[in-house]
Amino acid sequence: MNLQVDFMLDTERRSGSSVSQKFIIRLAAFVMPVIVLGLFLVLIVAYQSSKRDRNVVEQEKIQIDPEYKKVVSLEKEFKSVRDLKTAIQGWSDSRLDAYRLLRGLQRAAPPTIQLTQWVFNEKVEAVGTVFGRTAGIYMKGKVTGERPEADVQRLYQALKSEPPFPDIIAQVEVKRFAASEALDEQDGRVFDIECMLKPRLFVQPAGPASKPK
């Protein structure tokens, strides 16, 4: 027979758990304010650091701003000078080489043809989206010989196909071919030829690749 006697009072018995609920509540009441205070201090430090950085940036901006404005002004001035140079170069390049044209005409005209009038009309106007020179040439002449009409046709074909005319002339037309009205030239013929020159642009028009992105 085994007999077991417990002499411990109920008030002396301890809870079976290792940490009491009251202790946890007290610990939480102490720790939470510490955590909140720590977070608050971190936020204050971050704010002060951000404020200092912002002040530094503002000071740098104050120092850099005049230099930046100077650079922008120089860029605008450079662009204006470059545009002016381009315009002057375009004006020069668009001028007609009259000597080259007259030399070509001298070579192309048959010996039986004599020019009596040569009128060159030129104007500056818009050609599409840019400006350029447009011009026309009006020629009067007389032709003698056995085949006057064929000689005028030779000159016409030369103006259309022989250098330097294809690079300069866009259109050629014989406006008149008739018998001469002069009493001493009754066997001769007179003719009028009109030429429209190709436009000579001051600057080349911007293509699709040149459009701003």
Report whether 118 contacts 175 (CB < 8 A): no
Q: How would residue 90 be classed by pLDDT, with cut points 50, 70 and 90?
A: confident
CA distance 11 to 184: 158
State the Cα–Cα distance between residues 82 and 7, nearest whole angstrom. Answer: 111
pLDDT (tens digit per residue) in 42-54: 888 888 888 788 8
User: Residues 87, 202: contact at Cβ < 8 Å?
Assistant: yes
Mean pLDDT over 3-26 rounds to 60
Q: What is the pLDDT of residues 143-199, one digit of tens each?
A: 998 999 999 999 999 999 999 999 999 999 999 999 988 767 777 899 999 999 999
Tokens of 54: 């912002």
Please state, in angstroms and rounded to a whole number, the distance separating the CA atoms of residues 176 and 174.
6
Q: Please name the residues in contact with 100: beta carbons below 8 A apart, sequence gap of 6 or more.
A: 164
User: Treating both helix axes as pointing N-terminal to C-terminal, what angle do 98-108 and 148-161 enclose, rounded to 10 degrees?
Assistant: 140
pLDDT at 12 over 60: no
pTM: predicted TM-score of the whole model, two decimal places = 0.60
